[in-house]
Amino acid sequence: MIKRSFFSLNQPRLFYDLVEPDLKEPESIPLPASLSVLLSEEIDSTKQALIKKGDAVKKGEKLRLYDDSTAYTTSPVAGTINLFDTYSDDFGKIATFIVIKPDPNPSEADTIKLDTIEDIGFADQFLRKLPGSPPFEVLANDRIKISTIVITCADTDLLSTTNQFVGLMYTDEIKAGAKILKAMTRIPKICITIPEALRTRVNFDSIQVIETGNSYPSTLPAMIMKDHLNIVLPAGQTPEDKGVCFIRAEALVSLARVYKTKESVFDKILTLIGKDGTRHRVRATIGTPLSKIFSRFNIHVNEQDRIIIGGPMRGFATFTVHHPVLADMDTVIIQDRDIIPQLSDYPCINCGNCIRICPVNIPVNLLVRYLEANQYEEAADRFDLESCIECGLCAYVCTARIPLYQYIRLGKHELLTLRADA
């Protein structure tokens, strides 16, 4: 954890980590005894589900809950469905998790072969759940006009180096994937972000390269758009609304592999950061419980430790060591309970630290007073709630230790609910 320096006339600057100079192949995690995959649809007990306990599934088979479902997931192994139940995330969004028991001796016939065509509709139909979580749903949507695709080889959160690793290690596959993506979407402008310091170590041929700075939060989507694409993201809009779509480098690697092997791929690369800060580069099948990865490296998770998925500034904490590896999971951090910072329920003391550090000039000191009082509309209209790019720096420097980022995310969430109800 980076602490406040003794002299802090200026606000602290946090820097992104760079990938190690000598890249090694990631460590493969053997297939566990059971895997779980997430499906972003709620179980509706009034309807007859398409899947049930004991069903045999093939590797790469699409799993849907109901006939009219648009959400789907794909089975990462051949095996049988052991269980499916409700899962709710940290904002109470309900999804379904499906536990699959792999078949110990899968045969060739248990793998579904894909008849790959370079069409975005096809990709949306079959490839949404590729490692790297490609946004095919957005790209295939006719109502969203995307004019620029940005491939991210620069990690958005601190400590994380997975995207950089993929960018350097699998450059050729990224180039191949970009070609396929270009043919699919017919979007002429494809750029790739890479940390400035790594620019000389990699060659992306014809893809336009965006060199990103090393200080947080310069690689967040809104900052990339502002600094490099000259598009100011209007308050309350997503990059997609302005025609910019961000895609992980790993998604392109997966895409290239799918078109090469004609079958779906499920190996996700992630970085595990232990309590002592050591990094382990891991290749695990999507759906592998994190506990399997921890035991592979003899990492012991104790009572009241924290497992952070994503980075220290923007990630989320899971409540179980059995949380599965997901398609968009880049980094897993284990934080010892002794270094978990305490929060408080103090009011804002108006010290101004958040104002100094906010990269988008939000009056956080005033905003938080409205958020504490549940005045979400007022917060959005007068105090720029929706301009927030969710970097978490305000909460990082807050002297009163108010969970500011939590208030802001909750405020945005409630605001959307309010507007949907109105």
Partner 1 sequence: MTTNKLTVSHAPFWHDGDSLFQMNLNILLALLPAAIFGIIQFGAPALGVVALSISTAMLWELIMNLMSKKPLTVGDLDSAVIGMIFGIMLPATAPFWLVVVGTFVAVVIGKMIFGGIGANPFNPALIGMSFLMLSWRVMFDFDAAYVNYDFGFTALAPLAALKFQGAAAVADLFPTGDLIMGKQVGAIGSTFGLGIILGGIYLILRGYIRWEISISFILGIIVTAFCFNMANPQVYGGPVIHLFSGYTLLGAFFLATENSSSPVNIIPMFIYGFSAAAMIILMRNIGVYEDGTVLAILLLNLVSPLVDNIRPKALGKAGNNA
Residues 354 to 373: which contact partner 1 by CB under 8 A?
355, 359-363, 365
Q: How far apart are CA 223 and CA 216, in angstroms?
A: 10
Return the structure tokens found at 267.
């190996």
Of 348, 370, 379, 411, the one binding partner 1 (CB under 8 A) is 348
**In angstroms, what is the minimal distance from the CB of 234 to partner 1?**
4
For residue 339, the one-letter residue type is: I
Residues 6 or more apart from 343 whose CB is under 8 A from it?
401, 402, 403
Binding part of the chain for partner 1, among 99-107, 140-148, 274-282, 346-354 by CB under 8 A, reads 346-354
Binding part of the chain for partner 1, among 5-13, 75-83, 118-126, 244-252 by CB under 8 A, reads 5-13
Q: Which 147-206 residues touch partner 1, going by CB under 8 A?
A: 158
**In angstroms, what is the minimal distance from the CB of 100 to partner 1?**
19
Half-sphere CA count of 401, side-chain side, radius 13 A: 6
Q: Which 224-253 residues touch partner 1, going by CB under 8 A?
A: 226, 232-237
Count of residues interacting with partner 1 (CB under 8 A): 81
Which C-beta is closer to partner 1: that of 37 or that of 395? 395
Of 112, 251, 307, 325, the one binding partner 1 (CB under 8 A) is 307
Which C-beta is closer to partner 1: that of 183 or that of 351? 351
Name the 3-class secondary structure at 42.
coil
Which C-beta is closer to partner 1: that of 201 or that of 409? 409
Which C-beta is closer to partner 1: that of 139 or that of 307? 307
Binding part of the chain for partner 1, among 10-18, 64-72, 73-81, 412-420 by CB under 8 A, reads 10-18
Tell which residue, 31, 29, 30, has the closest CA to residue 103.
31
Residue whose tokens read 């010892």 = 336
Which C-beta is closer to partner 1: that of 267 or that of 384? 384
Residue whose tokens read 């989320």 = 316
Which C-beta is closer to partner 1: that of 102 or that of 310? 310
Half-sphere CA count of 235, side-chain side, radius 13 A: 14
Q: How far apart are CA 200 and CA 203, in angstroms?
A: 8
**In angstroms, what is the minimal distance from the CB of 307 to partner 1?**
6
**In angstroms, what is the minimal distance from the CB of 73 to partner 1?**
24
Residue whose tokens read 């995330």 = 89
Q: How far is CA 223 from CA 229, 230, 348, in A?
A: 9, 10, 27
C-alpha torsion angle, residues 69, 73, 77, 82 (rounded to 10) = -60
CA 11 to chain centre: 28
Which string of b and e fits 378-387 if b means at least 16 CB within 10 Å?
ebbeebbbbb
**In angstroms, what is the minimal distance from the CB of 319 to partner 1?**
5
Q: Which 263-302 residues touch partner 1, going by CB under 8 A?
A: 291, 300-302
Which C-beta is closer to partner 1: that of 167 or that of 312? 312
93 interacts with partner 1 by CB under 8 A: no
Return the structure tokens found at 307.
């497992």
Q: Which 310-339 residues touch partner 1, going by CB under 8 A?
A: 310, 312-322, 333, 335, 337
Which C-beta is closer to partner 1: that of 65 or that of 158? 158
Tell which residue, 167, 176, 188, has the closest CA to residue 243.
188
Q: How far apart are CA 148 and CA 97, in angstroms?
A: 34
Q: Are 326 and 38 in contact (CB under 8 A)?
A: yes
Which C-beta is closer to partner 1: that of 70 or that of 297? 297
**In angstroms, what is the minimal distance from the CB of 391 to partner 1?**
9
Q: Could you give the string, one character per residue 387-416, with x where binding to partner 1 holds by CB under 8 A and - elsewhere?
A: x-x--xx-xxxxxxx-x-xx--x-------
Q: Which 39-78 residues touch partner 1, going by CB under 8 A?
A: none
Strands (E) in 133-257, as ranges, are 148-152, 189-195, 208-212, 244-248
**In angstroms, what is the minimal distance from the CB of 87 to partner 1?**
14
Tell which residue, 81, 17, 66, 72, has the closest CA to residue 39.
72
Which C-beta is closer to partner 1: that of 211 or that of 381? 381
